[in-house]
Amino acid sequence: MNGIPFDLQILNVLAALFLLLSFSMLAQRRIVTLVNLLAIQGLILFIATVLLAWRTGETHLYLSAALTLGLKVIGLPWLLHQLIRKLDVYWDTEPLINPSATMLIGLLIVIFAFGLAQPISALASTATRNTLGIAIAVILLAFLTMITRRKAMSQVVGFLSMENGLFFGAMSATYGMPMVVELGVALDVLVAMLVLGVFFFQIREQFDSLDLRHFETLKEDE
């Protein structure tokens, strides 16, 4: 580890925490905690971005760090907490696949992600290229979170976590996306959140519950 400068070591630690948080989100069943974990993930993303911005001197990274802080650490979690209180959903029902099996699948996914990242990292010229595998792993784990959950709320959290992973991946591969794209994505997430918020109320109105199992009745039958 001697060859790696101190700030990069911190960055690697942050990346590891990032991945760890994904795993805890995969296992977590309390929705309030899930949202908190998302907020912490956002916080790590924020710190990592600031660190990277300081290291590379890219000014637009500061801006995206500010965006991360405002949107992902404060804005969306607050919004989600509001929704949880209003909709009165604190617990997800038991997941579709049991937690230990999910964890094992998650492990396989991480290995797969690192294998996938190998050739890309070799090509990338950024200082942070080693963390690309983690980013991909986070994206896939978030996807897995979405698959295994029953409540619409936890799926949204999974979706936002996936976005975090994407952001992290872009940062580690090319020091962030172009500003326009980043702004666009941020706006998309915000809008998606608002739309989904409206949907939640509609879904509850319709089915008296946020459980997605009720959607199966929507299927068209002969």
Partner 1 sequence: MPYATLNLCLVLLAAWVVIGFTGLLRPASVGFAGRALFPLGALCGAALAIVAVLGLPIPPERVILPFGLPDLPFHLRRDALSSVFLALLGGASAGISVFSAGYFRQGAGTLPGLLCFQYHVFLASMGVVLLADDAYAFMVAWETMALSSYFLVTTQHRIPDIRRAGFIYLLMAHLGAVAILLSFGVMQGTSWQFTFDAMRATVLDPTWASIAFLLAFFGFGAKAGIVPLHVWLPEAHPAAPSPVSALMSGVMLKTAIYGVLRVTFDLLGEPLWWWGLVALAFGLFTAFYGVIFAAVQTDMKRLLAWSSIENIGLIFTGIGLTIIFHGLSMKSLAALALLATLYHSVNHAFIKSLLFLGTGAVLHATGERNLGRLGGLIRRMPWVAWLTLIGALAIAGLPPLNGFVSEWLLLQAFLFANAVPRPFISMLLPLGAAIVAFCAALSGYVMVKFFGVIFLGQPRESKLAEAHDAGFLERIGLVWLALGCFALGLLPVQVISRLEFVSRYLIGADFGARRTEWWLLAPSVARQASYSPLVFFGVGTAVVMLTVWLVRAFYHRGVRRSAVWDCGFVRLNARMQDTAEGFGQPIRHVFQQFFLMERKLPTPFDKAPQYHLVLADRIWRGCYVPIGKLVRKIADVAALLQQGRISTYLTYSFITLIALLMVVL
> Nearer to partner 1 by C-beta: 10 or 104?
104
b/e map 78-106, b = 16+ CB within 10 Å: ebbeebbeebebeebeebeeeeeebeebb
For binding to partner 1 (CB under 8 A), which residues are involved? 96, 112, 115-116, 140, 143-144, 146-150, 155, 212-213, 215-220, 222
Tell me the closest approach of the beta carbon of residue 56 to partner 1, in angstroms: 28
> Nearer to partner 1 by C-beta: 66 or 195?
195
b/e map 22-34, b = 16+ CB within 10 Å: bbebbebbebeeb
Tell me the closest approach of the beta carbon of residue 13 to partner 1, in angstroms: 27
Tell me the closest approach of the beta carbon of residue 103 to partner 1, in angstroms: 16
Cα 176 to Cα 2, 17, 50, 59, 60: the distances in Å are: 27, 20, 12, 11, 9
Asked whether 124 and 66 are in contact (CB, 8 A), the reply is no
> Nearer to partner 1 by C-beta: 58 or 211?
211
* Three-state DSSP state, 209: coil
Tell me the closest approach of the beta carbon of residue 1 to partner 1, in angstroms: 28
> Nearer to partner 1 by C-beta: 84 or 116?
116
> Nearer to partner 1 by C-beta: 130 or 145?
145
Q: How far apart are CA 15 and CA 171, in angstroms?
A: 11
Task: List the structure tokens of 203.
Answer: 């879904």
Tell me the closest approach of the beta carbon of residue 75 to partner 1, in angstroms: 25
